Structure 1
Amino acid sequence: MVKQLLGQRFFRLLSECSQRKVSASELTEAIEELATHVADFSINEQDYSVLLRYFSFGLHRLKSYRVWFEQEKNALSASN
């Protein structure tokens, strides 16, 4: 379950942002793929506790990337 979520292109792109420039269209396509994946998963999963864990994990991952990006931005601002 978690591997499926982390395997989505959206999360891979977020982890690659520091290594290469990601285009807006590439990120948009990845978000659309993630939305489709989450919708499909939600339709097929009948156990709400599994859905809650799935969504909580994704939200936690997004928050960790946000913190990481803020730290990178602050480090860049401090060095300028």
Structure 2
Amino acid sequence: MITQLSEQRFFRLLSECSPKEFAVNDFTAALQELANHLADISINEQDYVVLLRYFSFGLNRLKSYRSQFEQGEKCLVLSD
């Protein structure tokens, strides 16, 4: 299940190391896909320990990208 989260397009876009330009629409669509995926998981998974581990993984991954962007290790340019 955690592999499914890391394979989401949103995380793939964030993991790009090049200063490639992405359209805002790409990120918007990827974020919507991630939100739908998380909603599906939270509705279908009955084990709260699994859900907590899953959401914790996603949060830690986002924090990791945030620190990389803040330190200038990754550059991201959005275009319209």
Larger Cα-atom Rg? 1
Other-structure match for 2:26? 26
Q: How do residues 31-70 of structure 1 correspond to structure 2 at under 5 angstroms?
A: 31-70=31-70
TM-score, reference length from structure 2:
0.86
Q: CA RMSD in A?
A: 1.1
Poorly superposed stretches of 4+, deviation over 2 Å: none
Larger relative CO (CA 8 A, sep 6+): 1 or 2? Answer: 2
Aligned-partner Cα distance in 1 for 2:6–2:62: 11
State the aligned residue count.
72
Higher helix share: 1
Gaps of 5+ in 2: 74-80
Q: How many Å apart are 1:22 and its aligned residue?
A: 1.5
Higher strand share: 2
For residue 6 of structure 1, what is the amino acid of its counterpart?
S
TM-score, reference length from structure 1:
0.86
